[in-house]
Chain A
Amino acid sequence: MEEIKLQIKDLNVFFGEKQVLHQISLNIPANKVTAIIGPSGCGKSTLLRSINRMNDFFEGMKVEGEIIFDGKNVYAEGVDPVIVRRRIGMVFQMPNPFPKSIFENVAYGLRIQGWRNKKAIEEQVIKSLQAAALWDEVKDRLYSSAFDLSGGQQQRLCIARAIAVEPEILLMDEPASALDPIATARVEELIRSLIEKYTIVLVTHNMQEAARSSDYTAFLLLGRLIEFGPTNQIFTKPQKKETEDYLTGRFG
């Protein structure tokens, strides 16, 4: 098996009294797309948001177990979640550009990280928009509002914004669920093109999307990891009965 980018070990997550994730252990391979599938409420998003510590903002949240990134547990004492999030980027379900220009949206993370050189910022913005396959559509209007873009373009802008700071891992929480089929196809295509540089973890409730875009698939049910393996194996020869039932549409 390939190089492991992220190691999730015996992860338990609680919101108050309620345990949302049970004993999840999962190795995320580098430069691949790993899809997390499962019915709504199974803990997919919670798992994803645990990786870059975006769950920290929920009051009463408690994490047990480890998520090893670059040899270090992201929940270890003394680890700054801000630094974790700089190295593990995230794209959300609903496109959420800032009420700023297209250019300033992509430059946001750079400015946060202390980039001051105008020329360097400009180059990085252009590079990121190109990588997000948005450059040709926006190059003439970099300084108009990000809200003037279509939903699909806004989502690609959010991807450009996330990759501008060159994270190592990109977490995507159902990035195409709010988009029409054509925009979805473009985002999926984009995801495939990004694995050269990034490791991607993709949460989706759309099984076709998982089958089309991912190399590995993890199936989650009621907060437990049921099965994990190469995508074509999960979809053609699932080992567990629950996985087969879910994939054949018996529930979920």
Chain B
Amino acid sequence: MLFLVAFSSLFFLIGIVVILFVEGLPVFAHVSLSQFLFGKRWYPTSSPPQFGALPLILGSLLVTGGGLLFAVPLGLFAGIFLAELCPPRGREVMKPIIELLADIPSVVYGFFGVVVIAPFVRDLLSLSTGLTAFTAALILGIMAVPSIVSVIEDTLTSVPRSYKEASFALGATHWETLRRAILPAASSGIGAAIVLGAGRIIGETMAVLMVAGGAPVIPKSFFQPVRTLTATIAVEMGEASVGSPHYHSLFSLAIVLFLFTLVLNILVENLIPGGRRRVR
């Protein structure tokens, strides 16, 4: 019985993957793979429909890369602070607060983005709209911080104490010890934290749908509206009639997204255990 329960998650995983491919692949009867991946126009409801997913793929990548630009420095410094500099009592207060950030529903982040951040960005940069890739990256970056912080903090605290002692005994300051002994020893874990953050950002749907602006065009600047893979699927699934090319194309977008996250997951798996033997 327990055996069955344990295997149910495997069953669901396989089921989802099979359905993605069964429902997604038929679109390639209407559009070639290269037209799909590199086509610049996503007009699924015009006639004839155009299924060029490149703007959406680039939108997702831009928002993810931009999000990391915010999340990585924030997460890295917060993690270093918590693990190395903060007195234990401060850590006991800070850690749950940071973890609470992860518990806020993403629609709330989106709401916050629309009401507070977007007008601010618009006025600050005098844009026509504040709903841009930049705004989305900022919000998603903040959303990814908790997971990045907690992985980095765990990695840093698991660096053997003896490395620190050896470094101090050689006359290194706290900062030199951090930079030359602790961070290099933790580099693979830090890499894993970044990839994990990327995974969270690329898969996020609700907040990005609300703040990214939703224009399915190839982004030329960080400060214009974009549309991501996730947002496209969420918005258009309701209006696509079941079995139509449009319907199948949305599943194909999901396949692309799934492949992205799969690659990121494989990266994380390979980064974590290899850490201790790596030499610089």
Contact = CB atoms under 8 A, between A and B. Distances in A.
B231 to A, nearest CB: 42
A156 interface: no
Contacts of B280: 99-101, 104
A98 B169 contact: no
B206 to A, nearest CB: 41
Contacts of B167: 98, 108, 112
Interface residues of B, number: 22
Contact of A112 (B162, B163, B172, B184): B172
Nearest to A105: B166
Contacts of A113: 171
B204 to A, nearest CB: 35
B11 interface: no
Contacts of A85: 168-171
Contact of B168 (A54, A94, A97): A54
A145 B171 contact: no
A206 to B, nearest CB: 21
A57 interface: yes
Interface string B160-185: 10110111111111001000110011
A89 interface: yes
B176 A99 contact: no
Interface string A217-241: 0000000000000000000000000
A98 B163 contact: yes
A96 B170 contact: no
B171 A99 contact: no
A144 B173 contact: no
B170 A92 contact: no
Interface string A27-70: 00000000000000000000000001010010000000000000
A147 B162 CA distance: 14
B162 A52 contact: no
A145 B169 contact: no
Interface string A158-189: 10011001000000000000000000000000
B276 A86 contact: no
Interface in A126-167: 144-147, 158, 161-162, 165
A72 interface: no
A113 B168 CA distance: 12
A166 to B, nearest CB: 11
Nearest to B275: A99
A89 B170 contact: yes
A92 B170 CA distance: 12
B220 interface: no
A52 B277 CA distance: 31
Given A98-B163, A100-B184, A112-B176, A144 B279 contact: yes
Interface of A: 52, 54, 57, 82-83, 85-87, 89-90, 92, 94, 96-101, 104, 108-109, 111-113, 144-147, 158, 161-162, 165
Given A112-B176, A145-B279, 12 more contacts: A54-B169, A57-B168, A89-B170, A96-B166, A99-B277, A99-B278, A100-B279, A101-B279, A108-B170, A108-B181, A112-B170, A112-B172
